[in-house]
Structure 1
Amino acid sequence: MVVYCSVPCYKKHKEEACTGKTASDPSKPPQGEVLEVPTEPTQPKEEAPLEDPKPLRPLTSLKWPYIPDESAYPDPLKRDDPKTLQLHHYEAIATSPAIRKTLAKHPGLKQLLRSVDSLRGYDREHALQRALGVAAPDIKDISAPKELSEDVVALRELAEAVEAAVRGGQESALGLDWDAEQ
């Protein structure tokens, strides 16, 4: 093992073929070995540049909950059943500017969604029907034109934005049709 007094000394010996002594016993300190220390003026160390803040990850890179892939051979009896959302649907919803715009336009919509989300079972389904304006009492008197509340309009806009995000531009699929009721 070769012992050096400093890093500049090591660099100097590395450049020139060093015939320095090696310590045969690492427990014994080197005896009488004097190495010349360079007398160069030391330069002040430059401070390391501050790192830029870590950029935010896009939503599409987030880990979403496990969603099973669609079967290669779908069951023909389940063709008309509601389909579960796939990962690309969740990503489309999360990155949709139309959904963000709707949520910004209607600030009370977040609280409405929280209140509906806190319900379970039949109560949730009934609250959604009332909020969308399609509950049984609303359907009975179809002949009379009625004014839709702000919450109903906001929730319908959100539903249409989510539907558009999930469709991904595929207009041939069936979807929401509010025009017949308004």
Structure 2
Amino acid sequence: MAPARIPPCKVCSKKDAGKYRCPVDHVDYCSVACFKQHKASGCSSENEYEPPPLPLLPVVADEPVDDERPTKRLKDLHWPAEPNPALWEDPLQRDDVKPLRGFELEAVATSPELRALLASPAFQTTLTRLTALPPSAREPSLRLLLGLPPLPAGDLYRPEPSHRFSSSAPLSSSDLNAELELRVDGRK
């Protein structure tokens, strides 16, 4: 790959010298002297500022979720009681897990991304396998799925020696499914 070319200075017209760019109107210049001359000769900060045009990106239309099942209206759902606002103000409880507030629950309920994720067969299979695990194996399996390090307890899951020093990249879905099948069958 060829190195990026340096543009010419727009003030003194020196080739391959425009190392710097005016923060206001994005004119390339090569030195402090050129910058001062540019400001004195009418930088657009004194004139009307027009931001540089944004690059044209392809517009991606949101694809509707292919789900013909009827949905309930939000006001018909049985919402839990609003949690006590003092939970978020107490500095001693700032790191504790807190219940979702009404607006957070509404955001979850109306999210098309979450609906699509929950409708995904691969996600449903993963959830089914996780719920089939014994309670003691769920947290280590979740940590494995999320790419978190295993817990440092004695009898919990330990990665195989071949995986112990591998990259921290998450496993592929086929590797995760195989790992979950082994755990469900009790072979590991």
Tell me whether the two structures share a fold, i.e. TM-score over 0.5.
Answer: no
TM-score, with normalisation over the residues of structure 1? 0.40
TM-score, with normalisation over the residues of structure 2? 0.39
Greater RCO between the two (CA within 8 Å, min separation 6)? 1
Q: Based on CA coordinates, which of the two structures has the bigger radius of gyration?
A: 1
